[in-house]
Amino acid sequence: MTEKIVIGLDGTDTGERALAFAKDLASKIDACELLAVYVIEWSPFTFQTAEENERRHNRREEEINLAMSRIVDPAVEGLKAAGFKATGLVRHGDVAETLNKLTVENGGTQIIVGRASSDGFAKRIFGSSTQNLVMHADVPVTVVA
């Protein structure tokens, strides 16, 4: 049976540590695929004009392309160069929900993410994406410090 590890990237050092941990873990598994995922926090709710919504849609596409070229593609290329079978995705949405949904849709067996590095008032009230993922994921989650 092939294991599929989903790596939640965020463009920070914690995401890089999660990537390194996933590579190390995958090297110890006979049949393993890696899926590098970057989720752009984005609310589907809008109360704007049609013109503003069109600009918003264009901005979403630009953000996806930018995240692919700057974060996901280099990660996938590095994984492939190291001999792993790897693919990548970028999506908009709630980070925890979207990462879990993509994991389930792609047959992921585990999620690896970096520990949330932000702190402050909003985190204390709403919780971090990492905390929400750990509490609600459908598969095991490994949080890398």
Q: Is residue 129 part of a domain?
A: no
First-to-last alpha carbon distance for the chain, in angstroms, is 29
Per-residue model confidence as pLDDT tens digits over 30-43? 999 999 999 998 76
What is the gyration radius of the CA atoms in the chain, in angstroms?
16
Q: Is residue 13 part of a domain?
A: no
pLDDT category at 126 given cuts 50, 70, 90 is very low
As a residue count, the chain comes to: 145
Q: Is residue 24 part of a domain?
A: no
Q: Is residue 38 part of a domain?
A: yes
Q: Is residue 66 part of a domain?
A: yes
In angstroms, what CA-CA distances link 25 with 4, 82, 137?
Answer: 11, 13, 20
Q: Is residue 99 part of a domain?
A: no
How many domains does the chain divide into?
A: 1
**Residues ≥6 apart with Cβ < 8 Å to 97:** 132, 136
Sheet architecture: strand order including 32-41:
85-93, 32-41, 3-9, 110-114, 141-144
Confirm if 15 and 8 have CB atoms less than 8 A apart. Answer: yes
Domain enclosing residue 80, as ranges: 1-6+29-94
Percent of the chain with pLDDT over 90: 68
Predicted pLDDT at 124: 42
Percent of the chain with pLDDT over 70: 88
Cα(82)–Cα(91) distance, integer angstroms: 25
Q: Is residue 89 part of a domain?
A: yes
Per-residue model confidence as pLDDT tens digits over 52-105? 777 877 888 899 999 999 999 999 999 999 999 999 999 999 999 999 999 999
